[in-house]
Amino acid sequence: MRPVIAVSGLRKTYGSGDTAVHALRGVDLDVMPGEYVAIMGASGSGKSTLLNMLGCLDVPTAGEYELDGFPVSELNERQLSLLRNRKIGFIFQSFNLVPRTSALSNVELPLIYAGLRRAARRERALAALEMVGLSDRAKHLPSELSGGQQQRVAVARALVTGPAMLLADEPTGNLDRASTAEVLGVFDRLNALGRTVVVITHEDEVAAHAHRVIRVSDGVIVSDLLAGVA
């Protein structure tokens, strides 16, 4: 089975000479289809830089990265953008929903960019909303939804293109405890259905839902443990 993420010797340096900042210092990492992985680290540890690399938002200084079999390191900016849109479903701390647009229309947006016809968009967006338990809120505006419901709409939007993985950056950072539980429950169900989930977080409560926890410090992976392994 081919990894969704295959990283070897990944390095990222900002600047040069005496002022150079070595954000990543040689990271090796594989994530297989269907895994649920949490990546943790303190501020300045390199986890945000690693997120940018895995999300094809930045390119490494050195090393290799294959996303679902595609050699990211060899792609130009246009190719990176296409790969990012087709292979990654992003979920951010801020929900990034269009305010005066219904939940259904928000979920449809990536499919509009992909050129799908209206009927096909509507069918797939409704299915995605059903997967996150919000089919009965399809016509509601973001302002009519709770924070947890808004983030679940964002998850549906990330799902609707059928990406190789969901990549979530501090997805519960703006949520209260009840809404956090809602969103984490959605991640649990999606992973149980075979979705690959990678979550960047500093919260132990969030990481506890993952089956594998990776800790980053000073630009390197310092631990990579399966859930329940001390």
Give the SS3 label for residue 176. coil
Whether the Cβ atoms of residue 225 and residue 49 lie closer than 8 Å to each other: no
In the predicted model, what is the mean pLDDT of residues 34-44? 94
Looking at domain 33-58+76-226, its CATH class is alpha beta
35 pLDDT more than 60: yes
In total, the chain counts a number of residues equal to 230
Count the neighbouring beta carbons within 10 Å of the beta carbon of residue 222. Answer: 11
In the predicted model, what is the mean pLDDT of residues 198-221? 95
Task: Please report, rounded to a whole number, the percentage of residues in the chain having pLDDT higher than 90.
Answer: 83
Backbone φ, ψ for residue 99 (5° rounding): -60, -45
> How much is the pLDDT for 228?
60
Residue 169 to residue 39: CA distance in whole angstroms: 10
Residue 194 to residue 100: CA distance in whole angstroms: 33
Structure tokens that stand for 111 in this block? 């499919």
pLDDT bucket at 75, cuts 50 / 70 / 90: confident
Distances (CA, A) of 107 to 30, 55, 122, 130: 30, 20, 9, 11
In the predicted model, what is the mean pLDDT of residues 3-19? 93
66 pLDDT more than 90: yes
Least reliable range by pLDDT among 25-29, 50-54, 75-79, 118-122: 75-79
In the predicted model, what is the mean pLDDT of residues 41-49? 91
pLDDT bucket at 37, cuts 50 / 70 / 90: very high
Rounded to the nearest 10 degrees, how much is the dihedral formed by the CA atoms of 50, 52, 55, 61?
-80
Domain ranges of the chain: 33-58+76-226
44-62 as b/e, with b when 16 or more CB fall inside 10 Å? ebbbbbbbbbbbbeeebee
Q: Which residues fall within 8 angstroms of residue 168, CB to CB, at 6 or more apart?
A: 90, 91, 92, 187, 197, 198, 199, 200, 201
Average pLDDT, the chain: 93
In the predicted model, what is the mean pLDDT of residues 128-150? 96
229 pLDDT more than 80: no
230 pLDDT more than 60: no
77 pLDDT more than 90: no
The distance in angstroms from the start CA to the end CA of the chain is: 27
